[in-house]
Amino acid sequence: MVYTVTFNPAIDYVVHTGEMKLGSTNRSDREEMYFGGKGINVSIVLRELDIQSKALGFTAGFTGEAIENGLAEMGIDTDFVHLKKGNSRINVKIKSAEETELNGQGPDIDDEAVNKLFAKLDKLQDGDTLILAGSIPASLPSDIYEKILERLAHKNIRTVVDATKDLLLNVLKYKPFLIKPNNHELGEMFGVTLTNDEEIEKYARKLKEMGAVNVLISMAGDGAMLIDENGEIHRCGVCNGKVKNSVGAGDSMVAGFTAGILQGDYEYALKLGTAAGGATAFSDGLAQKEKIAELLETL
Ligand SMILES: Nc1ncnc2c1ncn2[C@@H]1O[C@H](COP(=O)(O)OP(=O)(O)O)[C@@H](O)[C@H]1O
Ligand SMILES: O=P(O)(O)OC[C@H]1O[C@](O)(COP(=O)(O)O)[C@@H](O)[C@@H]1O
């Protein structure tokens, strides 16, 4: 079974506007709402790839209820811990000439709620896959992902971690099966700006030396680089298409790669990840089955 964990689910409120003037009243041309947060996005795209997963994490208030209802309508299994106070966040994604994001903080998560999540995770079994993705609300310590992996370390669970900075660095000693920072996040982790493949490979290999089994570095329109468990490097470009929305492209790549590795080798997983990432970039919402299949054919 595949499980995703989203500590900070969100409603992604996507607003399209011709021109955006800071400090003025702007009117949008069109709006859309999606149920998001990184782990949830991974569950949604996995379903398009015929892989059923269970979405875990925390929800709160009326927005949390909307997220759960929306996922149920999509046929996605969920088992969220319900927080007693606050609301799940709304993340605003403004699409004008450029993409601007304003992501909410999210509700406070207390120890009792964290322990409820731990109890659910304790039921995972050998052979399961666990995907931890996204930021955590400010109320939680930055070693929370680490604590989860430590708790599960005695089981044979394939873990995928898509997070940034300390949240990611702290888990490397537990040898996650896959991590997927983008090239900017990779640079940030080491306090450097990475400008070419050689530099990206050098720092990706550092993450591998620090414990990650497979290191996948996504680079938006420049494709992706994988350093696989044997230390071999794979480089993939991107699919061709007109970019509509890059929110969730990284999560789609994680879903595609995870599905690919359950069905084939690393080359195939990288291609399926690339097709899924591209299918999201070329769609208004997240990648859909037909588009992923069409793009996969071109790789
Ligand atoms: N502009 C684009 N054109 C084609 N493919 C894209 C584009 N943006 C993203 N992708 C695909 O999605 C993958 C993940 O995107 P990226 O933006 O790097 O992730 P993140 O959202 O985590 O920053 C890329 O490696 C690529 O395959
Ligand atoms: O574009 P990405 O990296 O795939 O992630 C998109 C998702 O992440 C979010 O931007 C939230 O990110 P964080 O959890 O890191 O705050 C969601 O609003 C969105 O659904």
Q: What is the CATH number of the domain that holds 163?
A: 3.40.1190.20
Decide whether any atom of ligand 1 lies within 6 Å of the 161 Cβ: no
Query: How far away, in angstroms, is 274 Cα from ligand 1 center?
Result: 8
Closest ligand 2 atom, CA of 91?
18
Among candidate residues 12, 128, 162, 251, the one labeled active-site is 251
Decide whether any atom of ligand 1 lies within 6 Å of the 250 Cβ: yes
Which residues have a Cβ under 8 Å from the Cβ of 286 and sit 6 or more positions away?
34, 41, 44, 45, 48, 248, 251, 252, 280
- Domain of residue 41: give its range: 2-19+28-297
* Number of independent structural domains in the chain: 1
The answer to whether residue 251 is catalytic is: yes
Supply 210's token pair: 């620090």
Query: How far away, in angstroms, is 9 Cα from ligand 2 center?
Result: 9
> pLDDT tens, 24-37?
999 999 999 999 99
Closest ligand 2 atom, CA of 8?
14
Decide whether any atom of ligand 2 lies within 6 Å of the 178 Cβ: no
> pLDDT tens, 81-127?
999 999 999 999 999 988 899 999 999 999 999 999 999 999 999 99
- Which parts of the chain have pLDDT scores under 50? none
Which residues have a Cβ under 8 Å from the Cβ of 67 and sit 6 or more positions away?
9, 10, 11, 35, 37, 40, 59, 88
Decide whether any atom of ligand 1 lies within 6 Å of the 277 Cβ: yes
Predicted ipTM of the assembly:
0.96
Q: pTM of the predicted model, to two decimals? A: 0.96
